[in-house]
Amino acid sequence: MEIKSWWVFPENFNFPLEFYIEEEQEQFIFGHLDTDLHCIETHSQTFTELKTGFTATSLTRVLVIRPLEERQWLFLMIQSMGSWGSHSQARG
């Protein structure tokens, strides 16, 4: 029996998760010039798009595409890593 990849199901592209982070948080989470983005996508099995300078306040738009459970997990991980508290960062 063949297990199909998540990206072959159109419903997984409905209602992507969209949120905004500060540019400093983007560099901290995704690395300088987003060098860690591919590793995060591979680990979380998501498609993650970053749009830097998306708003007048220099926020980065983060768009996450994947089924609901994985989107929520990745959001919580990013939220923890983007926190300024060391305990939250370690949890992320």
Residue 79 in tokens: 């939220």
Q: Which residues, in sequence order, are bridge partners of residue 65?
A: 47
Assess whether pLDDT exceeds 60 at residue 16: yes
pLDDT tens-digit readout, 55-75 = 677 888 988 888 777 778 888
Whether the Cβ atoms of residue 41 and residue 6 lie closer than 8 Å to each other? no
pLDDT tens-digit readout, 17-37 = 888 888 888 888 888 888 888
Residue 79 CA to chain centroid, in angstroms?
Answer: 9
Assess whether pLDDT exceeds 70 at residue 88: no
Which domains are seen in the chain, by residue range?
A: 9-84 (3.30.1370.10)
Mean pLDDT on 75-83: 78
In sequence order, the 6+-apart residues with CB closer than 8 A to the CB of 28 are: 81, 82
